[in-house]
């Protein structure tokens, strides 16, 4: 009897190994090949000089301007017309709310839906106006060491200049699109885009315009960022996370700190935060997250491919491994981050209320109502209030298709410009103006054609932001090919 049992177990084990091996064997990279093309020649010194000038306009976004919005915003949009005269002459331009330029390049085919390329020219503040910690002053636009340096080079004036540079060269060459093309350059993306991108979407809706697809920032060509992969990854993001902020408020008796009660407002608040951090929002390999890792998985080593190819057995293990890194965990779930705390204004006074501000980035599977319910459920204390904060909030986006002509066109263009690159659909874990443009676009994609390394990540919104001249040239070539192929 025992011998029969062991024999049966042995047969089942052999079958299991065979199934795992077969699934792993057929789980191979889909190596697409693209027709090679001659990339257009770009006057990179002239284009880098234009990006340098663009950086010198201090278009810093703030929710409240002590002395009013700087004139640099208007000066920048006026400068665009002189910096790119051929593109300006080929297109109609509307100024939305006086500060966001919307360009329209009329196509010859009125039946085909238009497309939209978008960027933003506002930037985040520099922590130290004197430029402490910066290799070169943040608003000088210094060209040195093979880079243009300064606030906004990567986020997002570099893309804007590359787009307009592509349009300028095409216009000079006499290019005429078959389908209508729009460019929109937002002035307030860094504070939510309510007066820029949202107003553009309202305008397009009012004109009866429905876009085939839009392209915005939100990802890049990732180099040596994903452990275990040495090949560059073009993550064409098909969705982006939502954004809400809540205030968690605990109440107490107050009084003198020499006579504290057993439970204070600060203690109640700390307990609530510990509960939240101990019980993250459920996540997993579904939806946009699954699309990303399913496309990336075949490119890993054999041991890792076994896990990805046999998720029917190893999914819990795989999700546990991916949850161990902040970058991959953010792809799997809605994230929660306490960011601000307030209590007593004096060290020896017990606060009558203590408040924690918590920021959530919502995965497309979760709604705002879901996350508020999760927060209440985990805290489980009727004496602690959870309040949705006033101000900017956004649900997660819809998920665009990675199986249509638009995604294929983007993939082809990345393959032709960047060569050996893994192309996958992905999820933008931050926010972009696409949340607004999606109202008037059948599909929305998010990626800038720049190479990004782990060294570049802290430069975004940080110190020593810069864009290489190679990236500026290659991005302009990318947009030229995309416009040629996508508007014919």
Contacts of 212 by beta carbon, 8 Å cutoff, 6+ apart: 112, 113, 114, 115, 179, 406, 441, 442, 443
The predicted model gives 379-399 an average pLDDT of 93
Dihedral through CA 435, CA 437, CA 440, CA 445, nearest 10? -80
Q: Distance between CA 252 and CA 264 in Å, rounded?
A: 6
> Can you give the pLDDT at residue 127?
86
Looking at the predicted structure, is the pLDDT value of residue 5 above 90? no
Q: Distance between CA 423 and CA 62 in Å, rounded?
A: 36
Element (H, E) at 7: helix 2-26
Q: Distance between CA 382 and CA 252 in Å, rounded?
A: 13
Dihedrals φ, ψ of 277, to 5°? -70, -25
Catalytic residue among 122, 156, 188, 465: 122
Query: Active site includes 347?
Result: no
Q: Distance between CA 51 and CA 238 in Å, rounded?
A: 28
- Report long-range pairs for 9-13 (Cβ below 8 Å, ≥24 apart): none
Count the neighbouring beta carbons within 10 Å of the beta carbon of residue 93: 14
Asked if residues 233 and 244 have their Cβ atoms less than 8 Å apart, the reply is: no
Element (H, E) at 441: strand 441-446
What tens digit of pLDDT does each residue of 81-112 get?
A: 999 999 999 999 999 999 999 999 999 998 99
Contacts of 327 by beta carbon, 8 Å cutoff, 6+ apart: 225
> Can you give the pLDDT at residue 279?
95
233-264 burial: b if 16+ Cβ within 10 Å, else e: bbbbbbbbbbbbbbbbbbebeeeeeeeeeeeb
CA distances from 437 to 97, 157, 422, 460 (A): 16, 19, 27, 23
Nearest to 486 by CA among 46, 258, 227, 178: 178
Q: Environment class of residue 326 by beta-carbon count within 10 Å: exposed (0-12), middle (13-18) or buried (19+)?
A: exposed
Kindly write down the DSSP assignment for every residue of 467-479, as one continuous string.
EEHHHHHHHHHHH
> Can you give the pLDDT at residue 257?
93
Looking at the predicted structure, is the pLDDT value of residue 4 above 90? no
Looking at the predicted structure, is the pLDDT value of residue 6 above 80? no
Catalytic residue among 156, 189, 291, 456: 189
The predicted model gives 37-63 an average pLDDT of 97
> Can you give the pLDDT at residue 62?
93
Dihedral through CA 254, CA 257, CA 259, CA 265, nearest 10? 40
* Least confident among 7-11, 67-71, 269-273: 7-11
Percentage of the chain modeled with pLDDT above 90? 84
* Least confident among 26-30, 255-259, 344-348: 26-30
Query: Active site includes 216?
Result: no
The predicted model gives 227-250 an average pLDDT of 95
Q: Which DSSP letter does residue 153 get?
A: I
The predicted model gives 38-49 an average pLDDT of 97
Helix 44-56 and helix 469-486, axial crossing angle in degrees, nearest 10:
100
Asked if residues 20 and 131 have their Cβ atoms less than 8 Å apart, the reply is: no
User: Using only C-alpha atoms, what is the Rg of the chain?
Assistant: 26
Count the neighbouring beta carbons within 10 Å of the beta carbon of residue 19: 13
Q: Which DSSP letter does residue 157 get?
A: I
Looking at the predicted structure, is the pLDDT value of residue 239 above 90? yes
What tens digit of pLDDT does each residue of 319-349 get?
A: 998 898 888 899 999 999 999 999 999 999 9
Q: Environment class of residue 461 by beta-carbon count within 10 Å: exposed (0-12), middle (13-18) or buried (19+)?
A: middle
Across all residues in the chain, what is the average pLDDT?
94
Q: Distance between CA 388 and CA 383 in Å, rounded?
A: 16
What tens digit of pLDDT does each residue of 172-222 get?
A: 999 999 999 999 999 999 999 999 999 999 999 999 999 999 999 999 999
Q: Distance between CA 121 and CA 195 in Å, rounded?
A: 13
Q: Distance between CA 475 and CA 417 in Å, rounded?
A: 9
Q: Distance between CA 52 and CA 331 in Å, rounded?
A: 34
> Can you give the pLDDT at residue 2?
73
Element (H, E) at 182: strand 181-186
Cα–chain center distance at 413: 20
> Can you give the pLDDT at residue 1?
66
Cα–chain center distance at 250: 34
The predicted model gives 266-290 an average pLDDT of 95
Dihedrals φ, ψ of 106, to 5°? -65, 130
What's the whole-model pTM score?
Answer: 0.94
> Can you give the pLDDT at residue 476?
98
Q: Environment class of residue 431 by beta-carbon count within 10 Å: exposed (0-12), middle (13-18) or buried (19+)?
A: buried
């Amino acid at each position: 009897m025992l011998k029969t049992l062991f024999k049966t177990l042995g047969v089942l084990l052999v079958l299991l190994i065979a199934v795992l091996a077969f699934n792993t064997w057929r789980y191979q990279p889909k190596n697409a090949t693209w027709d090679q093309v001659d990339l257009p020649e770009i006057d990179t010194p002239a284009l880098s000089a234009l990006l340098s000038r663009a950086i010198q306009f201090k278009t810093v976004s703030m929710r409240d301007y002590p002395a009013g919005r700087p004139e640099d915003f208007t000066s920048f949009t006026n400068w665009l017309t002189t910096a790119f005269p051929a593109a300006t002459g080929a297109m109609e331009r509307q100024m939305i709310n006086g500060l966001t330029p919307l360009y329209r390049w009329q196509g010859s085919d009125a039946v085909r839906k238009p497309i939209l390329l978008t960027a933003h020219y506002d930037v985040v503040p520099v922590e130290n106006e004197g430029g402490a910690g910066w290799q070169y002053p943040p608003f000088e636009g210094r060209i040195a060491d093979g880079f243009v340096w300064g606030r906004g080079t990567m986020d997002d004036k570099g893309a804007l200049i590359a787009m307009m540079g592509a349009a300028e060269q095409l216009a000079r060459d006499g290019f005429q699109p078959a389908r209508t093309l729009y460019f929109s350059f937002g002035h307030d993306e860094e504070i939510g885009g309510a007066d820029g991108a949202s107003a553009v979407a309202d305008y397009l809706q009012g004109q009866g315009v429905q876009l085939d697809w839009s392209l915005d920032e939100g990802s890049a060509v990732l180099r040596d960022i994903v452990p275990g992969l040495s090949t560059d990854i073009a993550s064409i993001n098909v969705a982006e996370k939502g954004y809400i902020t809540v205030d968690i408020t605990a109440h107490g008796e107050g009084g003198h700190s020499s006579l504290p009660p057993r439970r204070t407002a600060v203690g109640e608040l700390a307990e609530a935060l510990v509960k939240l951090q101990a019980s993250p929002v459920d996540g997993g390999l579904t939806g946009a997250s699954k699309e990303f890792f399913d496309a990336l998985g075949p490119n890993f080593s054999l041991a890792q491919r076994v896990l990805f190819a046999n998720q029917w057995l190893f999914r819990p293990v795989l999700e546990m491994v991916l949850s161990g890194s902040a970058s991959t965990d953010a792809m799997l779930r809605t994230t929660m981050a306490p960011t601000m705390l307030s209590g007593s204004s004096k060290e020896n006074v017990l606060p009558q209320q203590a408040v924690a501000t918590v920021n959530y980035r919502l995965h497309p599977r979760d709604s705002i109502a879901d996350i508020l319910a999760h927060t209440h459920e985990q805290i489980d204390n009727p004496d602690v209030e959870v309040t949705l904060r006033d101000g900017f909030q956004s649900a997660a986006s819809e998920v665009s298709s990675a199986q249509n002509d638009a995604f294929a066109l983007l993939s082809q263009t990345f393959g032709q410009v960047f060569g050996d690159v893994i192309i996958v659909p992905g999820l933008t874990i931050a926010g972009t103006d696409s949340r607004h443009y999606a109202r008037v676009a059948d599909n929305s994609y998010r990626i800038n054609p720049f190479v990004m390394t782990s060294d570049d990540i802290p430069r975004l919104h940080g110190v020593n932001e810069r864009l290489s001249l190679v990236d500026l040239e290659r991005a302009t070539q990318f947009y030229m090919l995309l416009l040629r192929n996508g508007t014919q």
